[in-house]
Amino acid sequence: MSSILEIRHLRTLRAIEETGSMAAAARMISLTQSALSHQLKQLETHYEIPLFTRNTRPMTLTGAGRKLLELANNILPHIDEMEEKLKTKTAHTGHFHVAIECHNCFDWLLPALNHVRKHWPGLDVDAQMTFDALNMLKAGELDIVITSDPVKTSNISFMALFQYEAKLLMSPHHPLSDKGMIEPTDLRNETLITYPVSLDRLDVYQHFLRPAGLEIKNRRTSELTDMIIQHVDSQRGITVLPDWVLLNHRLTENLISKSLGRGLYRTVYVAVKSEDANNVALKDFIDIAPCVINRLKK
């Protein structure tokens, strides 16, 4: 039988043993509870043996689980020690400056950066919003750019973080709220409420209306997500926002969201200088960002 045992599995077992519950263990190692549960199930299915007795509080290790925990306690201290030594050689020693190109990315970016601050206390971690981010990255003024519009650029590497769906949000009293599939022509005469950015940075325009040969006829803007949603609630127009915003925002509870066409899916990327692509603090950030998004969607 081939082995699937990895270091992350050992960390998971140790966290469950230390905390006594799946939920607390997931928080300890910065995973969603579903991801942690999947890891455990994967091991138990592969080796065809239970590792924990789940109907106990706290969760109790089986004999096989205790053997794996003993392995974890023997191996992980050596790995942790080596990682600490490597950090000083491969991580940025001065700053970790991030720029984003979307207003609502702060919802998940700040928790992800807090994770980086916790694991890399020597770094100056900061974030800002700008639409000249790639040029600033090239000039060395930034370390990371978060964007959904990758551009082929020399010496810049783009790595996918996660995918999201841009969805239409409207009042339940809006005529489109009962429509099955939203077509580009349905938005022809609507007032679209957007952030105050150029049209080519709007998903709904660049990837839904423009391919159909349509323009945004009526538009009003706001810097604040809360204000945009309140305008929608008061039937002053409709908007398009990422799914994580709609699922996590208290003001959207009484509103209607719909897919655009068969779904307008976009990918968020992290852009870095190619020479920094193996930076361990950066990899830490890339690992945690999708987990933060998954929490926002619950």
Q: Are residues 152 and 176 in the same domain?
A: no
pLDDT in tens, 15-69: 888 888 888 888 888 888 888 888 888 888 888 899 888 777 788 888 888 998 8
Residues of the chain where predicted confidence (pLDDT) is lower than 70: 1-3, 84-94, 296-298
Q: Is residue 143 a contact partner of residue 283, using CB atoms and an 8 Å limit?
A: no
Q: How many domains, the chain?
A: 3
Q: Are residues 15 and 49 in the same domain?
A: yes
The contacts found for 41-46 with CB under 8 angstroms, 24 or more apart, are 42/4, 43/4, 43/5, 43/9, 46/1, 46/4
What pLDDT score was predicted for residue 231? 94
Full residue range of the structural domain in which residue 125 is found:
99-162+268-296
Cα Rg of the chain (Å, integer):
23
Instruction: Return the amino acid letter for 247.
Output: L
Q: Are residues 138 and 231 in the same domain?
A: no
Q: Are residues 38 and 111 in the same domain?
A: no
Please, which residues bridge with residue 260 across strands?
Answer: 182
* CA dihedral for 268, 273, 275, 279, sign (positive or negative): negative
Q: Which of 35, 66, 90 is the last residue of a domain?
A: 90
Q: Are residues 147 and 71 in the same domain?
A: no
Q: Are residues 121 and 239 in the same domain?
A: no
Q: Is residue 113 a contact partner of residue 127, using CB atoms and an 8 Å limit?
A: yes
Q: Is 56 among the domain residues?
A: yes
Place of tokens 């990682």: 83
CATH number of the structural domain spanning residue 218: 3.40.190.10
Q: Are residues 139 and 282 in the same domain?
A: yes
Give which of 98, 120, 119, 122 is closest to 110, Cα–Cα: 98
Q: Is 2 among the domain residues?
A: no
Q: Are residues 11 and 84 in the same domain?
A: yes
For 146, phi then psi, to 5°, come to -100, 120
Q: Are residues 40 and 183 in the same domain?
A: no
Q: Is 1 among the domain residues?
A: no
What pLDDT score was predicted for residue 2? 57
**What is the per-residue burial (b if ≥16 Cβ within 10 Å, else e) of 156-175?**
bbbeebbebbbbbbbbeebe
Q: Are residues 154 and 211 in the same domain?
A: no
Q: Which of 47, 69, 90 is the last residue of a domain?
A: 90
Task: Indicate the DSSP class of residue 218.
Answer: E
CATH number of the structural domain spanning residue 38: 1.10.10.10
- Tokens matching residue 213: 């040969």
Q: Are residues 260 and 169 in the same domain?
A: yes
Q: Which of 90, 117, 140 is the last residue of a domain?
A: 90
CB atoms within 10 A of CB 198: 9
Assign 3-state DSSP to the chain and report helix, strand, coil percentages, each to 5.
Answer: 50, 20, 30
